[in-house]
Structures are given as structure tokens and as C-alpha cells.
């Protein structure tokens, strides 16, 4: 089961995030960022994890669409809300799964998730101050997270679990 302190920590982050969901401003910017497509090679073989990763790409692609069009604050608020939902669901579910199957790098994985969560909260705070400039940084950060954490680190962890613990596709 999940440690009580970790669950409380996440609830505190949700409350902190909720305090920032207030402003409404509008702007337009341009970018070179491209949308990302889910490819069969990205599948880990664990359906629930793959579905979360696909939802992450949907969030990223929504951000790219917003950047290429007129960025409305309402859309950005929704994107940040979806990112926090991702944090509160996938990242926690992953950690529970990894703990249940005694993944040896769980501590590092949890630290990576915590850093991601803190970075998203920082981006949100900066967004409310700087607006357009931070949107580009957020897109770069999310793209990098997908390329490094999801496609490499998560896939490596799931492979370990499948080999060592017979984790199934469900």
C-alpha cells in the first residue's frame, strides 16, 4: 500500500495548485513545437500505464495547439489542471505498482515524479506572472519529460516488473 505521508504530500500539492486557479488573460504567440503522436513502439505492455501516457500526449498536444493559436487563459488553466490530474493519478498509480512489485529504483522514480510535480507548479506560478514566455518553456519541458522519463525510464521500469514479477498487460 501507499505510505500515508506520500498521499498527504500529494493532497497538499493539489490544495496549493487550487489556490492559483483564478486569473483570465488572453494572448497570442507563435512556436516551432510540433505535436507528438503515440507510436506502437511506445507501448509498455501494461494497458493502464499506456493509457495514462497517451493522455499525457493529449495534454501536450493541447498545449501545442494553444501555442499555435490564440492562447486563452482559460485553455491554459485547463492544461495545468489536466497536468495536475496526471500527477495525482498516473504518477501515484505508477509508484503504487512499483512498490507492490518491489521495483529496486522506486526511490529514484518517486524523486523524479516529485521534481516533475514541483516543476509543473513552478511553471504555473510563472505563467501567472509572465504568460507567453513560460508557455514555450513548459512545452519544451513536457516534450523532454515524454522523451526521457516516459519513453526511457518508465519503459525500463515496466520491463523490469514484467520480467521479475510477471506483471500482466492489464
Domain membership of residue 86 as a residue range = 4-165
pLDDT in tens, 55-106: 999 999 999 988 887 677 788 899 999 999 998 888 888 889 899 888 999 9
Helices (DSSP H) in 44-91: which residue ranges?
47-68, 73-86
In a domain, 149, yes or no: yes
- Of the candidates 37, 22, 140, which has an alpha carbon nearest to the alpha carbon of residue 76? 22
CATH code assigned at 105: 1.20.120.50
Specify the number of domains making up the chain: 1
Q: Cell numbers of 164, please?
A: 521479475
Give the HSE-up count for residue 55: Cα atoms under 13 Å, Cβ half-sphere.
17
In a domain, 114, yes or no: yes
> Which residue's entry shows cell 498545449?
63
pLDDT in tens, 112-166: 999 999 999 999 999 988 766 788 899 999 999 999 999 999 999 999 888 877 6
Amino acid at each position: 500500500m501507499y505510505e500515508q505521508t506520500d498521499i498527504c504530500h500529494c493532497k497538499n500539492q493539489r490544495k496549493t495548485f487550487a489556490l492559483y486557479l483564478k486569473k483570465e488573460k488572453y494572448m497570442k504567440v507563435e512556436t516551432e513545437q510540433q505535436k507528438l503522436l503515440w507510436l506502437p513502439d511506445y507501448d509498455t505492455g501494461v494497458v493502464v500505464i499506456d493509457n495514462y501516457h497517451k493522455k499525457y500526449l493529449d495534454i501536450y498536444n493541447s498545449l501545442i495547439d494553444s501555442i499555435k493559436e490564440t492562447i486563452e487563459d482559460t485553455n491554459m488553466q485547463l492544461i495545468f489542471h489536466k497536468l495536475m490530474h496526471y500527477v495525482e493519478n498516473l504518477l501515484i498509480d505508477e509508484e503504487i505498482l512499483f512498490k507492490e512489485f518491489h521495483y529496486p529504483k522506486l526511490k529514484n522514480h518517486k524523486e523524479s515524479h516529485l521534481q516533475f510535480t514541483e516543476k509543473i507548479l513552478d511553471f504555473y506560478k510563472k505563467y501567472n506572472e509572465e504568460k507567453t514566455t513560460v508557455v514555450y518553456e513548459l512545452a519544451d519541458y513536457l516534450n523532454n519529460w515524454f522523451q526521457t522519463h516516459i519513453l526511457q525510464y518508465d519503459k525500463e521500469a515496466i520491463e523490469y516488473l514484467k520480467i521479475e514479477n510477471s506483471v500482466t498487460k492489464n
